[in-house]
Copies of this chain bind each other. A is one copy, B any other.
């Protein structure tokens, strides 16, 4: 055994290596703060398995809708981001000036997409993009709010028939949320121009539209009384104006609501409201043609925070779904909380977006407009729910974080070369296989590894069997063993795996 012979030599070598390390790696003495930056986290193999499953469902749906994908850098020139996020701009991460350009980490995927469309002079594109974005927000990690988090965006750019691209976005949200099987959901829909007209009809001064919008946007989290107080005390609106707003923004419905608002005289005097209601009528008709009408709610309280929206806006909410990340028992709203858990919390919106017809033009000095509509999945929330479900007590089967089908095990000491050669056979045949990297692993440990990681088969090699030209194939779960000629091992394993898959 070479490892035995060379012990003194190895010790000397290690000493030299350590001395070298000390001289070249000067930080050796520092006590490390073993943590990740505030508001970020590592994702472990089980979490990655859940992520792969969710992303795969989403990507397959995007591909079913004729989408391409693109990628943009994780940072942009700072000026690209400036002036796109209103009050939220203070949450942008900047890079240190190390000589050269002034750079910022992307805050979402929408602004980089608009920059991409303008820069490459694209007239129409339907694209998805999945990537991490960065916000220096106060992290609330137990509630799933991180400083580094995934967004998963789908957007359609181009000048099309009204509401056609918009309704496809709603259909995609519908398909993904249905396939993810997270229970009942609703997609709230509203229109920025309707809000504008509505504010005008309520006598909000034109220069207070944006700030009024951002107050109304809070209505899904706080009661109307609080929003009203903010509008009057902080934003300086009259009580009468606030009450008028309050009347409208608490309305919700379907095509009936469109009709009711169409006959509302004060809205009728507002061209922007009138145009928006025509859009809404068309959109709801298209929703019916696409079979998603029952999941859509025209909801006047929906406002959305970001400055760049110009038309239809929407947000999907899981109905009655609560989860508690500190507790394995997250359920589907059956209000059964155990004492070990905190109060379950509503997950909030899991997708949101809208039309932003002005954003691309902001990047083009000639002002060429490229109308856009799209949305982001709140994928971190979807992942948190799926993780909770995957690891809950109700789900007793293990979550496999590998896909390995076969363990090549030694029945006794050594057999290193024999195990390597057998792995080679399997890998050459594209079979997912592994072996212990120990020189002398115990059979029990090797089989235990199969059980804990879910590997269904083991090829057990033994000196005696090998001399007879045979090996054993063992079903890890049933513990049944089958002796086969070594020359037949690949074919036999393929046969067993394919019959297991059909079950």
Contacts and interface: CB of A to CB of B under 8 A. Distances in A.
A158 interface: yes
B164 A83 contact: no
Nearest to A165: B437
Given A116-B42, A281-B2, A424-B289, A98 B103 contact: no
A430 interface: yes
A73 B40 contact: yes
Contact of A21 (B96, B161, B168, B358): B358
A42 B289 CA distance: 37
A77 B86 CA distance: 29
B404 A66 contact: yes
Interface stretch (A224-232, A329-337, A414-422, A465-473): A414-422
A274 B12 CA distance: 11
A365 interface: yes
Nearest to A82: B27
Interface string A354-395: 000010001111000000000000000000000000000000
Could you say which interface size class chain A belongs to? 35 or more
Given A20-B196, A63-B403, A65-B432, 9 more contacts: A2-B278, A3-B161, A8-B271, A10-B275, A13-B272, A34-B119, A35-B77, A41-B73, A51-B71
B32 A79 contact: yes
A212 to B, nearest CB: 11
Given A33-B77, A206-B16, A434-B66, A5 B278 contact: yes
Contacts of A433: 64-66
A263 interface: no
Contacts of A79: 27, 30, 32-33
Given A95-B96, A127-B45, A63 B2 contact: no
Contacts of A365: 31-32
A111 B209 CA distance: 49
Interface string A169-211: 0010001000000000000000011001000000000110110
A73 B150 CA distance: 11
Contacts of A156: 437
A140 interface: no
Given A40-B75, A75-B40, A93 B98 contact: yes
A28 B83 contact: yes
Nearest to A41: B73
Interface string A287-300: 00111000000000
A9 interface: yes
Contacts of A93: 95-96, 98
A93 to B, nearest CB: 6
A150 to B, nearest CB: 10
A97 interface: yes
A355 to B, nearest CB: 11
Contacts of A272: 9, 12-13, 16-17
A286 interface: yes
A148 interface: yes
A29 to B, nearest CB: 10
A56 interface: no
